[in-house]
Amino acid sequence: MAQSVPTGGEFLFREVGSTPLMCPERFTDEQRQYLETALRFSRNEVLPKTEQIEKKTPGLLRELLRKAGELGLLMIDIPEAYGGLGLEKTTSLLVAEAKSMNGSWSVTFGGHTCIGTLPIVWFGSPAQKAKFLPKLATAEWVGAYALTESGSGSDALGAKTTAVKSADGKFWILNGSKQFITNAAFADVFIVFAKVDGDKFTCFIVERSTPGLSIGPEEHKMGIRGSSTCPLILEDAKVPVENLLGEIGKGHKIAFNILNIGRLKLGVGVLGGMKLQLANAVAYAAERKQFGTSILKFGMIREKIARTAGLVYAVESMAYRTSGLIDARLHGLDPTAPDCDAKTIAAIEEFAVEASILKVFGSEALGQLVDEAVQIHGGYGYIEEYPVERAYRDARINRIFEGTNEINRMLLVGMLLKRSVKGTLPLFDFAQTVDDELTANALPKEVPTGPLSRAALAAGHLKRMAVYALKVAAETFGPELEKQQLVLANVADIVMDAFAVDSMVARTRQVAPSDPVRIAMTRQFTNVACARSLEAARRALCASAKGDALTSHLKKLALLSLYDPFNPVELVEVIAEAVERGGGYTLGG
């Protein structure tokens, strides 16, 4: 089974739709039930308490976590042997989507279930798992993750917190302080990174009752104001030796693997907020009258709704495609096997490129959607009383944490390059084929297979743009390419658009090939993606070559220029009418 599952990043080299995709239309009955339960919880328990959450009402978030725990929503990723459900990643991600209707709650939930719990699930000893997981599964204990320090954010391995063995050998003595720790005000268990003997980056489970541990004051934040964000201070904190997590000097493995899943969950998580804010914007626009007409009838308002609904379709298509690939890799894995955790980590790491894409693309799509939602509300969108004002502020953090979008752009291209050097991805073979095709002016032609034939061709052209630009840059800069940030960022943007178009075309063709709404969303997004990727490729080439060589590269690039000449007004109308009729985004089966 695992043999036939595409590898991470392989979408760049495969024909569009060459493998079946996981998507919401294909959720199992059990997955739909979890989605329903999680959505009901958000609607009935979280959203009505938005004001109290925002005011940091003491005990409220803990109480909500406990209630979510009773419904099983905190234990999806925890193995059955330790009080959890041990379900597949698609279920975990659809719960992540459903919980994200309120930013503060979403971050609290993620801080606990993902970064605060998974390090123990994946790297804990049997004794650590038995001690902590059953209590984390129900939120009897709340988890938090402490990696960042005031001097080390993006450069996480530059941490200064130290860990030294006590003279009696029974404790690790931790000194240092961590910055911006989600859930810190009420967490019971902290995953803390510190350096042993000055240089061995290592992970520890630190309990709140640890002597020498204290929590600093709450930060006053732009958004997600209901969530707790505080410094964690460790002054000769005495951590029992049995609380060392994983191995000395291997803390980076824990930090980076947790970031992989965190990015995936963030990328999916944005969907809950996007869908809610789109629905709110449509409802507001339907009510609001100007010039004697509901503003929802105005062309420019309809365009905003159609475009942002298309972004929801794009993120959703990429997100569940990725979770499906991970689940396919994990299919048949025995949860009691000694190598189960290692295989789970490896399956998620395999799709680290896709996780970075989702993190960047998802957070920026959310940003665009809430921005347009404010605009649709006009002046009222700027007033606190309207939920969209808070959603706009809450959304901003997503581009910063779980690795900033700058770091993730560099990472995703860096990973593609690394894998091609290792021989696990045929990046440069494909790039050479593309060069040959361009030189001979022998690109694949559009196969007239229906309304998405141009978009399908575009998916292939976008992949070609990405690898061609990367090939030229690699030839020019060699090992110095990693320092060419603008080139990498431009290539990253093309890769993201390629993944989005590929996923939208494949999903539409596989689950609803004649649905006019899915077709319209895909065609609309594809034209935007092709235009901006062409410009990104031009910029990457202009930064990598000059003179006649550049002229030749630009001529070849021009062959990849593609446009689908639809009537944008008609296409917007197809989407906007469906969103209006459904009161929001209703695709997904």
Ligand X SMILES: Cc1cc2nc3c(=O)[nH]c(=O)nc-3n(C[C@H](O)[C@H](O)[C@H](O)COP(=O)(O)OP(=O)(O)OC[C@H]3O[C@@H](n4cnc5c(N)ncnc54)[C@H](O)[C@@H]3O)c2cc1C
* Residue 180 interacts with ligand X (CB under 6 A): yes or no: yes
Binding region for ligand X (CB under 6 A) out of 130-138, 175-183, 282-290, 339-347: 175-183
Give the C-alpha separation, 499 to 478, whole Å: 26
Q: Assign residue 283 a region: left if phi > 0, alpha if psi is -120 to 50, beta otherwise?
A: alpha
- Exactly one of 6, 72, 134, 153 binds ligand X (CB under 6 A); which one? 153
- Exactly one of 406, 482, 573, 580 binds ligand X (CB under 6 A); which one? 406
- Exactly one of 60, 81, 340, 400 binds ligand X (CB under 6 A); which one? 400
Closest CB to ligand X: residue number: 153
Binding region for ligand X (CB under 6 A) out of 91-99, 144-152, 275-283, 351-359: 144-152
Binding mask 448-487 for ligand X (x = CB under 6 A): -------------------------------------x--
- Exactly one of 44, 154, 439, 514 binds ligand X (CB under 6 A); which one? 154
* Residue 103 interacts with ligand X (CB under 6 A): yes or no: no
* Residue 181 interacts with ligand X (CB under 6 A): yes or no: yes
* Residue 401 interacts with ligand X (CB under 6 A): yes or no: yes
Report the amino acid identity of residue 430: F
Q: Minimum distance from CB of 363 to ligand X (Å)?
A: 12
Give the C-alpha separation, 355 to 322, whole Å: 8
Binding region for ligand X (CB under 6 A) out of 320-328, 404-412, 556-564, 571-579: 404-412
Q: Helices in 213-351 by DSSP H: which ranges?
A: 251-287, 299-330, 340-350
Cβ density class 165-187: b for 16+ within 10 Å, e for less: eeeeeebbbbbbbbbbbbbbbbb
181 versus 452: smaller Cβ distance to ligand X = 181
- Exactly one of 12, 118, 173, 407 binds ligand X (CB under 6 A); which one? 407
55 versus 289: smaller Cβ distance to ligand X = 55
146 versus 215: smaller Cβ distance to ligand X = 146
On the 0-12 / 13-18 / 19+ scale of CB atoms within 10 A, 304 is buried
Binding region for ligand X (CB under 6 A) out of 4-12, 97-105, 148-156, 354-362: 148-156
Give the C-alpha separation, 364 to 267, whole Å: 10
DSSP string across 486-531: HHHHHHHHHHHHHHHHHHHHHHHHHH-TT-HHHHHHHHHHHHHHHH
Q: Minimum distance from CB of 227 to ligand X (Å)?
A: 7
Closest to 504 (Cα-Cα) out of 540, 462, 469, 476: 462
- Exactly one of 94, 146, 234, 319 binds ligand X (CB under 6 A); which one? 146
Counted residue by residue, the chain has a size of 589
* Residue 34 interacts with ligand X (CB under 6 A): yes or no: no
On the 0-12 / 13-18 / 19+ scale of CB atoms within 10 A, 540 is buried
* Residue 117 interacts with ligand X (CB under 6 A): yes or no: no
92 versus 229: smaller Cβ distance to ligand X = 229
Binding mask 228-247 for ligand X (x = CB under 6 A): -x------------------
Q: What share of the chain is helix, strand, coil (3-state, %, to 5)?
A: 65, 10, 25
* Residue 397 interacts with ligand X (CB under 6 A): yes or no: yes
**Dihedral sign, CA of 142, 55, 273, 46?**
positive
| Cβ contacts of 137 within 8 Å, gap of 6 or more | 69, 74, 75, 78, 82, 83, 84
- Exactly one of 31, 148, 398, 533 binds ligand X (CB under 6 A); which one? 148
* Residue 132 interacts with ligand X (CB under 6 A): yes or no: no
| Structure tokens belonging to residue 92 | 């975990």
267 versus 584: smaller Cβ distance to ligand X = 267
SS3 283: helix
| Gyration radius of the chain over CA positions | 24
Binding region for ligand X (CB under 6 A) out of 50-58, 180-188, 381-389, 437-445: 180-188
53: number of Cβ within 10 Å: 22
The Cα angle at residue 492 between residues 490 and 495, in degrees rounded to 5: 115
282 versus 370: smaller Cβ distance to ligand X = 370
* Residue 584 interacts with ligand X (CB under 6 A): yes or no: no
* Residue 25 interacts with ligand X (CB under 6 A): yes or no: no
400 versus 512: smaller Cβ distance to ligand X = 400
Q: Which residues are catalytic?
A: 402
| Helix 89-98 vs helix 251-287: crossing angle, to nearest 10 | 50
Size of the site for ligand X (CB under 6 A): 20
* Residue 177 interacts with ligand X (CB under 6 A): yes or no: no
Binding region for ligand X (CB under 6 A) out of 169-177, 257-265, 401-409, 438-446: 401-409
Give the C-alpha separation, 103 to 272, whole Å: 10
Residue 389: in which H helix or E strand, if any? helix 387-395
Paired strand residues for 172:
165, 239
- Exactly one of 24, 111, 231, 324 binds ligand X (CB under 6 A); which one? 111
Scanning residues 484 to 503, which ones bind ligand X (CB under 6 A)?
A: 485
Q: Minimum distance from CB of 445 to ligand X (Å)?
A: 40
Q: Minimum distance from CB of 341 to ligand X (Å)?
A: 22
Query: Which residues contact ligand X (rule: CB under 6 A)?
Result: 111, 145-148, 153-154, 180-182, 221, 224, 229, 397, 400-401, 404, 406-407, 485
